[in-house]
């Protein structure tokens, strides 16, 4: 078999990618595969979020379609969260969509802290940490609540006249319903909800 050099290094190519069949070695082929998969996850996550927005804004009149992608082993490494303290054991069982939602929430928390809005930032972070780290909340419920928290965070992160207080109120009610049977989470929610509502002008 003739030696074909990888297009990115001097090692032997093992496969060709794209329509042009660009030769890649084992390591660069893996990097290409990983990048392609992560791009697909980002697209699916964005589509899921758009569907969720439509579903909530229409009061559930439109069907909710969600795209699920398998999680390969290369995504097993726990992502790093700086502003939201999440146990590694909790992160290890979350899907990529939930983690993406949490990263968006963390971005808002960091932004609010940098703008001097520590109270609402701390409230969102505290609720997020409590839900994700709680072992009595199912993975499916954590996924749903992470989507709800992402929406609330998105509302905090926009101008007052661009907010949707009616939808935000419904989403907060949804979070309360999801944690209603877990006393510890209800206690935290009762503490942080007034702060979030006050900041959103609800």
Same-domain pairing of 46 and 87: no
Question: Dihedrals φ, ψ of 185, to 5°?
Answer: -75, -35
Q: What is the pLDDT of residues 88-102, one digit of tens each?
A: 777 777 777 788 888
Write down how long the chain is.
202
Tell me, what's the pLDDT at 26?
Answer: 67
Tell me, what's the pLDDT at 179?
Answer: 92
Report the range out of 45-49, 108-112, 145-149, 162-166 with the highest average pLDDT: 145-149
Q: Report whether 85 contacts 131 (CB < 8 A).
A: no
For residue 85, name the pLDDT band (cuts at 50, 70, 90): confident
Q: Report whether 63 contacts 50 (CB < 8 A).
A: no
Q: Report whether 182 contacts 142 (CB < 8 A).
A: no
Region 112-139 average pLDDT = 89
Q: What gap in Å lies between CA 202 and CA 198, rounded to an integer? A: 6
Region 148-152 average pLDDT = 90
Looking at the domain assignment, is residue 64 inside a domain? no
Same-domain pairing of 92 and 35: no
How many domains does one find in the chain?
2
Q: Report whether 121 contacts 192 (CB < 8 A).
A: no
Q: Is residue 117 pLDDT above 70, yes or no?
A: yes
Q: What gap in Å lies between CA 143 and CA 151, rounded to an integer? A: 13
More confident: 67 or 128: 128
Q: Is residue 69 pLDDT above 70, yes or no?
A: no
Same-domain pairing of 107 and 186: yes
Pairing of strands 22-24, 15-17: antiparallel
Closest CA to 111 of 120, 100, 99: 120
Same-domain pairing of 90 and 189: yes
Q: Provide the residue range defining the domain that includes 128.
A: 76-200
Q: Report whether 66 contacts 44 (CB < 8 A).
A: no
Same-domain pairing of 80 and 114: yes
Q: What is the pLDDT of residues 162-193, one digit of tens each?
A: 888 889 899 999 999 999 999 999 999 999 99
Same-domain pairing of 90 and 15: no
Same-domain pairing of 43 and 101: no
Looking at the domain assignment, is residue 6 inside a domain? yes
Region 103-111 average pLDDT = 84
pTM listed for this prediction: 0.59
Q: Which of 16, 34, 59 is the last residue of a domain?
A: 59
Q: Is residue 198 pLDDT above 80, yes or no?
A: yes
For residue 158, name the pLDDT band (cuts at 50, 70, 90): confident
Looking at the domain assignment, is residue 174 inside a domain? yes
Closest CA to 145 of 129, 159, 121: 129
Closest CA to 175 of 197, 157, 201: 197
Q: Is residue 28 pLDDT above 90, yes or no?
A: no
Looking at the domain assignment, is residue 166 inside a domain? yes
Where helices occur in the chain by DSSP H, the ranges are: 26-57, 88-91, 96-114, 118-133, 139-156, 165-178, 183-200
Same-domain pairing of 41 and 126: no
Tell me, what's the pLDDT at 1?
Answer: 38
């Amino acid at each position: 078999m003739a030696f074909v050099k990888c297009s990115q290094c001097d090692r032997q190519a093992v496969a060709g990618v794209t329509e042009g069949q660009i030769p890649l070695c084992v390591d660069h082929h893996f990097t290409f595969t990983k990048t392609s998969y992560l791009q697909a996850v980002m697209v699916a996550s964005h589509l899921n979020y758009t569907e969720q927005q439509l579903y909530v804004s229409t009061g559930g009149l439109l069907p909710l379609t969600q795209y699920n992608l398998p999680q390969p082993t290369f995504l097993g490494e726990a992502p790093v969260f700086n502003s939201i303290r999440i146990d590694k054991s909790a992160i290890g069982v979350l899907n990529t969509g939930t983690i993406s939602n949490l990263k968006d929430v963390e971005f808002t928390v960091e932004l609010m802290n940098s703008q001097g809005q520590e109270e609402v930032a701390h409230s969102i972070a505290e609720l997020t940490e409590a839900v994700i780290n709680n072992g009595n909340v199912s993975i499916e419920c954590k996924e749903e609540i992470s989507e709800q928290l992402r929406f609330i965070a998105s509302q905090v992160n926009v101008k007052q006249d661009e907010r949707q207080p009616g939808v935000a109120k419904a989403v907060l009610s949804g979070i309360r319903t999801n944690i209603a049977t877990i006393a510890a989470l209800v206690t935290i929610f009762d503490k942080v909800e007034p702060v979030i509502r006050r900041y959103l002008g609800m």
